[in-house]
Structure 1
Amino acid sequence: MSTDKVTVEFTEDGFAILTMRNGQNRLNSKFIQLLNENLDKVLRNKNCKGLITTGEGKFYSNGVDLEWMMKQNKEVHLNFRTEIQGLFWRILHFPLPTVAALNGHAFAGGAFLAIAHDYLVMNSKKGWFSMNETRVGMRIPPATLEVLSVKMKNKQAVREAVLFARSIPASEAKSLGLIDEVGELSTLIETAKKLILGALGPTGLDRDMLQVMKKDLYPRTQLDNGNTKSKL
């Protein structure tokens, strides 16, 4: 399997920049595997201060690879549902500060991937933030709804972005609290680094304690099949 569709760069100043390089960066089983493999690389680097994810060109991620999904059987569908929700929760509970640097469009599953991060920064001149499930006639699975419920508290943001499935530009996304900062494409990575440094503070944070706190604040109670499980 080629790994050039997802790369991770460790910068001299201590950050991991994970870049999705597969066009629209649609999510399927192989692409999620590549993302997880690169997240593993980040965890193995004990000198890494924080994780920044981004894309190339017009898209951060255009959501689930529906063309691929249509060719799969029920078993693959169920496995993929487990895989994608596992990815969202892995990012949500990642033991480093995380920033999604939205270079372009973040649609549907791509938007959920983005909000699983601690911070979001967005290109001021290109891209929409859109959870378009209402418009395409799809329900949001329970475990994914739980990601939404713990990360999107502004009722106006829920109404506009989720209920009415609007495509929201950067300036409005910031006013709704969907993202934290807006800037030129060329400044997104530096802005992301500043957010991570601000989160770490002058003394830094212990990885294990940060992950424990994330799990306490954002408990996962839904299994991928909709059943409940006890809090870890």
Structure 2
Amino acid sequence: MLHITEHAHGIRELRLARPPVNALNAELIRALRKAIEAAPAEGAQALLISGSSGMFSAGLDVPALLMLDAPALQRCFEDFFGMAAALAQCPIPVAAAVTGHSPAGGAVIALFCDYRVMARGPFKIGLNEVQVGLTVPAVIRDALARLLGPYRAERLLVSGAMLESDAALRIGMVDELANVDQVPQHARLWLQALLALPRQAMLETRAVARADLIAATRREHLPIAQFGAVWQRVETQATLHALVAKLKAGKPA
């Protein structure tokens, strides 16, 4: 479900490994959150989040989450937003190796990292929550606006647009493109260059530069209850169940 690999220079890779599409169920979300939180204390100098070739993560596992009772769903959302906060507040650099498609929750993971290398080609990334009846929380909007500016972020969020990798690079949603089989390597090279700098100065400056993102992900700002309320709305439930029915019928979502 989550494979951990140690690389040179103290780079620890957390690879999403939940076939076929690395959908984020409660167990994977919790495992990822705990691994991010534990890494600095365990001696990791930098983190790399990766997926499988052609698919970073398809986002939240909607069929699995619809089967959870209210307490379990609440814990899942706590872990999801806690995972985003752990990425934002991580005291060591974090790069995302976006190895393929990255809608919704997959894009959220990438947004809260320091740097994003995406697979070149017909792979898409975006926050398409509106298309499945969900409201994008303010903390995620803020993370996207931090990269793109408020107006461009607004246009993408309200439409739920998905962008191919070339377009994502042009507007700054990702930082670099690489061939699909070389994405993790390019992300590691970026981390290695950062780790070659004077460490204390780099880490302290990084913390200053990310202060806005850190502040936005403090516990009191995380929209756990609000997101849960949106999830339970009649419109949202109808849209999510329709999505699951399409998936079961083998139709495109």
Residue 81 of structure 2 is matched in structure 1 by 85
For residues 157 and 144 of structure 2, the distance between their equivalents in structure 1, rounded to whole angstroms, comes to 9
Moved more, 84-93 or 32-41: 32-41
TM-score (norm 1): 0.83
CA contact 1:129–1:170 (8 Å) conserved in 2: yes
Partner of 1:166: 161
Inter-partner Cα distance in structure 1 for 2:69 and 2:25: 14
For 2:221, give the aligned amino acid. Answer: Q
Cα displacement string for residues 140-176 of structure 1 (whole angstroms, at most 9, x for unaligned residues) = 23444444444442633542x3222222111110001
Is 1:177 the equivalent of 2:172? yes
Q: Distance in 1 between matches of 2:71 and 2:142?
A: 23
Distance 2:66 2:52 in 1: 26
Letter in 1 for 2:121: K
Name the residue aligned to 1:29: 26
Of 115-124 and 35-44, the range deviating more from structure 2: 35-44
The one-letter amino acid of 1:222's match is H
Residue range with higher mean Cα deviation, 50-59 or 99-108: 50-59
Q: Say if 2:36 and 2:90, in contact at 8 Å, map to a contact too.
A: no
Distance 2:63 2:172 in 1: 32
Aligned to 1:120: 116
1:109 aligns with 2:108: no
TM-score, scaled relative to structure 2: 0.77
Partner of 1:84: helix, strand, or coil?
helix
Please identify runs of 4+ aligned residues in structure 1 that moved more than 6 A. none
Deviation at 1:41, TM superposition (A): 4.8
- Partner of 1:202 in structure 2? 197
After superposition, the Cα gap between the structure-2 partners of 1:205 and 1:217, relative to the gap in structure 1 and judged at 3 Å, is: farther
Who is 2:221 aligned against?
Answer: 222
Assess, with a 3 A threshold, how the Cα gap between structure 1 residues 211 and 29 changes in structure 2: closer, same or farther.
Answer: farther
Q: Please report how far the alpha carbon of residue 114 of structure 1 lies from its aligned counterpart in structure 2 after TM superposition.
A: 1.0
After superposition, what is the alpha-carbon deviation per residue over 1:116-154, rounded to whole angstroms, capped at 9, x for unaligned? 101101000252102111222211234444444444426
Compare 16-25 and 212-221 and name the one that shifted more. 212-221
Which amino acid in 1 is paired with 2:39?
V
The amino acid across from 2:132 in the alignment is: V
Secondary structure class of the residue paired with 1:79: helix
Question: 3-state SS of the aligned residue for 1:168?
Answer: strand
Give, in angstroms, the shift of residue 70 of structure 1. Answer: 1.2
Computed over aligned residues only, the root mean square deviation of the Cα atoms, in angstroms, reads 2.4
User: For this pair of structures, how many residues does the alignment match?
Assistant: 220
Q: What SS class does the counterpart of residue 95 from structure 1 fall into? A: coil
Partner of 1:68: 64
Judged with a 3 Å threshold, the aligned counterparts in structure 2 of structure 1 residues 123 and 212 are, in CA distance, closer, same or farther, namely: closer
Unaligned runs of 5+ in 1: 227-232
Check if 1:187 corresponds to 2:186.
no
Q: Write the letter of the residue equivalent to 2:103.
A: F
Compared CA separation, residues 119 and 158, structure 1 to 2 (3 A): farther
Quote how far apart the aligned CAs of 1:16 are: 1.0
Deviation at 1:210, TM superposition (A): 6.2
* C-alpha distance after superposition, 1:19-51 (max 9, x if no partner): 1110211122211122133324522332x3311
Residues 51-97 of structure 1 deviation map (CA, whole Å, 9 limit, x = unaligned): 11111133111111110111122232222222111111111111111
Structure having the higher helix fraction is: 2
